[in-house]
Amino acid sequence: MKMVGFFITTILMFHLVMVPCVAFIPREWFNFIGFGNGEGQKPQPLLKYDPGEPLVLIGNEAENLGTADPAMATRTDLREKFYSRTCPKAEKIVADAVADTFKTNPNALANVIRLQFHDCFVGGCDASLLLDYIPSGDQVEKRSGFNGLLLKGADLIDDIKSKLEQECPQTVSCADTLVFATNEALILSGLPRQRPLGGRRDTLTSLAKMADDNNLPAPNWPLEKMIETFKRKGFNEEEMVILLGAHSVGSTHCDFIMYRAYNYKETNQPDPTLPQGVVDEIKKVCVDANTPKYRNPPMNFDETPTVLDNLFYKNMVERNRTLLETDAYLLNDPRTAPTVQQMATDPELFHKRFMELMKKLSTLNVLTGKDGEIRKTCRSTN
């Protein structure tokens, strides 16, 4: 009996002491020790990150984190004037080379802008796109159908890189060379001058199958798939519409648009959403629907193919004029149409937002610090 009394007294004492104490334990401690959040909800998964490589969330990225590909996180190690001590002339060398090329080949501006997009969306801004081969013998990104023979501008990057190597050997990465060249191309296309971020390093690998694996959009993708892909890279609908404003410079080959003028959805009729004027325009350039693939002539996206203006959006709003089917979807969906309308009426806002988003694009999943390498030539690993 004595034993039972002692036992009951001990339990009572324990409760008298512990219950008030528990009331003062901070809620987060419950999470930490795995008891949920103290409000009867499921515990939230912890975001995994390496404290050595802090994440920086730019613009709407924080909001997108739930859907974004975690591999596409950006890093704080990038900074302006990265080469101010190691290669002070780097940015000027790039700027002079791009300006020189522009004099004889103004299309180069559009070429490099597209190169940056295709490099950054596949694995990150790591110059994987520039490799001609990798030691494993696997097909490199350049060989992917999404890049194929239609990707131009790599020779300009080679040119700039060899100038940089002469000035400061193995110092400026190919990934930075591409971003710096693109930044310069944007300025020459009419955007406000800004200094590019530097500090990227070059990857040792490049795989065509990664480019094929829903990382680069095709011109006949439905809007849903475009939105999903851009979200995975950290860009919301508004940001996607603004980045697509890049289709204000350069051209598309007839391969990608002819069907809209000649044989939309196997009907032998034009795309019914295209005004007759645009159908005629396409037919005038894309004369022969039977021209072999990749031999078709290019058609400028708009009337000013070397100026990054808002004509792409104005043409859409005022004349329902688009060349790529994917661009046409932007005007007809409530998730994207308001941004098209806004960009069509506010050229300054387009310039400002486009520059910001190209900067954000240039930070996707970069290699920094001791990762990767600084290639001697952009076409092969060291």
Known catalytic residues? 118
Does 347 help bind ligand HEM (rule: CB under 6 A)?
Answer: no
In the set 217, 234, 270, 372, which binds ligand HEM (CB under 6 A)?
Answer: 217
Residue 179 in 3-state DSSP? helix
Answer yes or no: is 309 a known binding residue.
yes
Answer yes or no: is 122 a known binding residue.
yes
User: Residues in contact with ligand HEM, total (CB under 6 A)?
Assistant: 24
- Return the number of the residue (83 or 230) whose C-beta is nearest ligand HEM: 230
Cα 90 from Cα 96, distance rounded (Å) = 10
Nearest distance, CB of residue 92 and ligand HEM, angstroms: 24
- Return the number of the residue (152 or 283) whose C-beta is nearest ligand HEM: 152
In the set 82, 117, 262, 312, which binds ligand HEM (CB under 6 A)?
Answer: 117
Tokens standing for 263? 């044989």
- Return the number of the residue (217 or 270) whose C-beta is nearest ligand HEM: 217
Sequence-ordered list of residues with C-beta below 8 angstroms from that of 155, at least 6 positions apart, any chain: none
Nearest Cα neighbor of 91 from 172, 162, 156, 152 is 172
What are the backbone angles phi and psi of residue 79, rounded to the nearest 5°?
A: -155, 160
DSSP secondary structure string for all residues of 281-329: HHHHHS--TTSPTT-SPEEESSS-TTS--THHHHHHHHH---SSHHHHH
List, in sequence order, the alpha helices (H) in the chain: 2-23, 27-32, 61-64, 90-104, 108-121, 154-167, 174-188, 208-212, 223-232, 237-243, 258-262, 276-285, 311-319, 325-331, 337-345, 347-361
Residue with tokens 């069509």: 344
Answer yes or no: is 304 a known binding residue.
yes
Answer yes or no: is 206 a known binding residue.
no
Instruction: Choose the binding region for ligand HEM from 135-143, 171-179, 215-223, 264-272 (rule: CB under 6 A).
Output: 215-223
Does 157 help bind ligand HEM (rule: CB under 6 A)?
Answer: no
Instruction: Choose the binding region for ligand HEM from 10-18, 58-66, 106-114, 278-286 (rule: CB under 6 A).
Output: 106-114
Nearest distance, CB of residue 233 and ligand HEM, angstroms: 10
Residues in 253-282 at the binding interface with ligand HEM, rule: CB under 6 A: 253, 256
Q: In the complex, which residues of this chain contact ligand HEM (CB under 6 A)?
A: 107, 110-111, 113-114, 117, 150, 152, 217-219, 226, 243-244, 246-247, 249-253, 256, 324, 326
